[in-house]
Structure 1
Amino acid sequence: MRGFAVVVLLSLCGLCFQAQAEEVLEVGLIYPQIGNFKLQGLAQMSAALLAIDEINSQGGVLGKKVRLRPLNSGGRQDRAVRAVDTLAAAGVRTVIGGGSSEEVLAIGERAARRNMLFFVPQVASPDITGVSGRRNLFQEGSSSYMAGRALIEYLDEHFPSQKFFYITSDYTYADADVGAFLEAAAVADQASGKTWRAALEQAASSDAKVLVLMLYGTDLVQAMPLVHRLGLRKRMQVVVPYLNQDIVEQAGASLMEGVIGVDTWALQVPRMEDSSAGQAFIDAFVQRYQTYPSSAAASTYGILHQWADAVRRTSSSDPEKLIAALEGHTYRLLKGDQEWRAFDHQNLQALYVLKVKPRAEVMKDPLKQDYFEVVHRMDGDLAAPTLIEWQEARGTGRETLD
């Protein structure tokens, strides 16, 4: 009898462990802990943990607890791809993250092969939901193309008929022109350190009134001291199209003072958009981490809550069902109205032209991180490519997502 009791007990324990395993839904996070985008990766991790704790405190999803399974990509495509395989082998069906555009494209391709849903928080390349767009991929953040449109509207009003100096991997110097600006924005993520140093010296000898730096991560951080030494901020309006809190913190508020750029998030946004949930997110993030949430954090937080909502609405974590539930879905969370656009899976939300405050004003803030003044706003549907533009960019025979 004792042996029978032991067998029964072990069997019951096995069933118990199996039931416990079934009560958990895992979400993967592939993020860079080192490299150009390490601050963005840290923001993704911090926001993901906060969002999952909130979801679980509200009863989880479909009666199951949500658990994060994070993996460090190191900012490398090969490690990111291996991370997708690791998550797929563990039965994870949804993944979030990525730092650079190249890393995101690699994750998206591998996740599609593995039939996994992939959410992108903040990456600049318009290819993510454009030429390289996939059915399994949804991008929450805006692209550099969208940022370019918001900037042009602002710059056309405040710097009419002025010469711009663009610095990209293949920099150009020309009169202000919407088409040229957006074309430059489309290749912004290819900027090279071998190009911008010489280009900055050429900008200093030009008569341009606006300096557009299509540089990201470490490249921008290294460029800003030279911009200062050459006195370019005094002579020209410096523009960094894809501007965010992480960039200012890396480069320093003093060097970034007066710089203009675009983001989907700033501390003032919840108040501007009358979002109590947005302010509650800021308060919770500050209480937990003693720092303000960046756009990468806000994006990751929003993605997880949107994923949880889609799972509840479909009563399933199956990627195909979630894709159908997300396409065309509109909602309000941290700001005003947002939409997961059906034909390209680009999230449509308001974009804000931001100007970095003087350092003296930044230092008045309790956390010394209130970096931005919002100087302009554009609706997301006006910034994003139209259906016709999107189809033309993808080419004949690829008018729908792969």
Structure 2
Amino acid sequence: MKRLTATLALWVGLATGVQAADPITLGLNYPRSGSYKEEGLSQMRGALLALDEINARGGVLGRPLRLSTLDSASQVDKAVGNVDQLAAEGAAMLFGGASSAVAIAAGKRAREHGLIYFGTLGYSNDTTGKDGHRYLFRESNNATMSARALGQYLAQHLPNKRYFYVTSDYTWGLTSEASLRTATGSEDQARHPSVRLPFPGARLSQYRDALTLAGKSDAQVLALVLFGEDLVRAMRIAHETGLTSRMQVVVPNITGHMVEQAGPSIMEGVLGTTPWTWRVPDMEDSERGRAFVKAYVERYQVYPTSSAAHAYGIVHQWSDAVERARSLKSEAVIKALEGHRYRLLKGEQEWRAFDHQNVQRTYVVKVKPRAEVLKDPLHQDFFEVVHHLDGEQGAPSLSEWQAERRAAGQPDKLL
């Protein structure tokens, strides 16, 4: 009997060891095709680098991490279907996306599966505002944070100007335009008109028609509330028609991929915002940030963009929360994340408890002249930082958030 008990104990121990060594699956629901595919590629690269680092030091709770990826193509229906598939694979956490509409819809479906969803790149206020819930977190800044930072700079350097808006007609574009209008005092749509373009799938003729109207206006500032390849298409037309030489172009959110695709000659002087560039670790004296840039360049031979930094940070932050909670259960991880302050690739950041918005510094950047860009060994030193706004100053307050939720018929707390 003693021998049998010992044998059973040995078998249970071995079985437990095998189970502990089973990999933990993380699901990346990202755009591998469509207008935002370059931002998606960076997310995958950043996530893989984070996984390798975590696995090299023993994984999470003694288990290695593995990544399962599916293409969302920035399409809501496809992204929601991906959530179901990744949940069926046993994913412990889901993240990804470069469209706020995808983050919102996929996050809601993830909640039905009891899974946390991290919106990786999506700036709509709605994501952590009226559409926010307990299972949805956002690492990037929101539209209000971008607009307040950009608005401060524009108020100082381009006061009392007329604006013309060209906007992607979905949640990111609409909340970004509204936030920028508020921040710049350009709410009067008769004085500061706008044209909305369908997303996804705007035709080239629609870009041309919108920019023709902008050219016929008396606006001095052209606000292109477009992202990814949509912005690239619009910038090429604006450059061809001479708009970039007579109007200041501003974009709410910008990444290095957009500059690289359009070309720095076309993008020169464009103003935008970003929460991170590969220069930020030196500016904020972040050793981890410098190590990330070095490792990323060595592996991929390009500088990491904000898209890569977001994905990298999410994987590390989720893993850290799991270790602190000593559990993979979503509710335990949510509690470990809420109110957590940390430093990773820049200065202090916080997962705010009441809305799950990541609060951090936002930078206003201007695209450098092509000659300056080419001085860099990788020809990718695109941005001059011209202004910044700290997270607490830029993020909506609790009372503002609650007012937005009430207006939309949503409860005052995340459910």
Same fold by TM-score greater than 0.5: yes
SS at match of 1:241: coil
Are the aligned partners of 1:273 and 1:335 in contact in 2 as well (CA < 8 Å)? yes
The residue number in structure 1 matching 2:211 is 200
Structure 1 unaligned blocks of 5 or more: 1-7
Question: Which residue of structure 1 aligns with residue 73 of structure 2?
Answer: 74
Alpha-carbon offset, residue 190 of structure 1: 6.1
The one-character-per-residue Cα deviations of 1:64-116 (angstroms, maximum 9, x if unpaired) are: 11111222223332222222112222222211112322221221111000000
Q: Measure the CA separation in 2 of the matches of 1:327 and 1:371.
A: 34
* Corresponding residue of 2:351: 340
Distance in 1 (CA, whole Å) between partners of 2:182 and 2:327 is 48
Contact 1:189 1:215 survives alignment (8 Å): no
| SS of alignment partner, residue 69 of structure 1 | strand
Task: Name which of 158, 178, 181 aligns with 2:183.
Answer: 178
Distance 1:25 1:256 in 2: 42
2:167 match: 168
Query: Partner letter of residue 28 of structure 2?
Result: L
Equivalent pair of 2:253/2:272 in contact (CA under 8 Å): yes
1:22 aligns with 2:35: no
Alpha-carbon offset, residue 22 of structure 1:
3.4
Shift of 1:179: 6.5
- Give the Cα separation in 1 of the matches to 2:68 and 2:295: 22
| Corresponding residue of 1:235 | 246
The equivalent position to 2:341 in structure 1, one of 306, 324, 330, is: 330
Given that 2:280 and 2:346 are in contact with CA atoms closer than 8 Å, whether structure 1 keeps it comes out as: yes
Q: Specify whether residues 253 and 343 from structure 1 end up closer, same or farther in structure 2 by C-alpha distance, changes over 3 A only.
A: same
Picking from 202, 205, 229, the partner of 1:218 is 229
SS in structure 1 of the partner of residue 58 of structure 2: coil
**Residues of 2 paired with 1:203 and 1:266: CA distance?**
30
RMSD: 2.6
Cα distance change on mapping 1:165 and 1:324 into 2, 3 Å: same
Cα gap change, 1:235/1:397 in structure 2, threshold over 3 Å: closer, same or farther?
closer
Q: TM-score, normalised by structure 2?
A: 0.87
Partners in 2 of 1:383 and 1:340 — Cα distance? Answer: 15
With over 3 angstroms needed to count, the CA separation of the structure-2 counterparts of 1:85 and 1:272, relative to structure 1, is same
Distance 1:87 1:354, change over 3 A: same
Opposite residue 400 of structure 2, the aligned amino acid is E
CA distance in 2, matches of 1:188, 1:100: 17
Quote the residue 2:371 is aligned against. Answer: 360
Give yes or no for contact 1:101–1:189 (8 Å, CA) kept in 2.
no
CA offset at residue 307 of structure 1?
A: 0.8
* CA deviations over 1:316-349 (Å, ceiling 9, x no partner): 1110001011011100010000000111100001
Q: Which structure 2 residue ranges, 5 or more long, are not aligned?
A: 1-6, 190-194
What is the correspondence of 1:2-401 to structure 2 with a 5 Å cutoff?
19-23=17-21, 24-168=23-167, 178=183, 196-395=207-406, 396=409, 398-401=411-414
Distance 1:190 1:329 in 2: 38
| Cα displacement (A) at 1:391 | 1.1
Q: What amino acid sits opposite 1:226 in the alignment?
A: I
Check conservation: 1:145, 1:182, Cα contact below 8 A. Answer: no
Cα gap change, 1:207/1:217 in structure 2, threshold over 3 Å: closer, same or farther?
A: same
Partner of 1:5: none
Classify 1:313/1:188 alpha carbon distance in 2 versus 1 (closer, same or farther; 3 Å).
Answer: farther
How much does 1:277 deviate?
0.9
Cα distance in 2 between the residues matched to 1:189 and 1:280? 40
Q: CA deviation at 1:261?
A: 0.1
Instruction: Report the CA distance between 1:362 and its aligned residue.
Output: 0.8
- Distance verdict in 2 for CA 1:82–1:397, change over 3 Å: closer
**Taking every aligned residue pair, what percent have the same amino acid on both sides?**
49
Q: Is the 8 A contact 2:197 2:207 kept in 1?
A: no
Q: Which amino acid letter does the alignment assign opposite residue 68 of structure 1?
A: L
SS of residue in 2 equivalent to 1:255: helix
Q: In 2, distance between residues paired with 1:146 and 1:188?
A: 22
Matched residue, 2:3: none
Asked whether the 8 Å contact 1:189–1:214 carries over to 2, the reply is no
CA distance 1:286–1:216, change in 2 (3 Å): same
Equivalent residue number for residue 192 of structure 2: none
CA distance in 2, matches of 1:20, 1:41: 34
Give the AA of the match of 1:64: R
Distance 2:126 2:182 in 1: 22
TM-score, normalised to structure 1, is 0.90
User: Is the Cα–Cα contact under 8 Å of residues 188 and 214 in structure 1 kept in the other structure?
Assistant: no
Q: Which moved more, 1:269-278 or 1:216-225?
A: 216-225
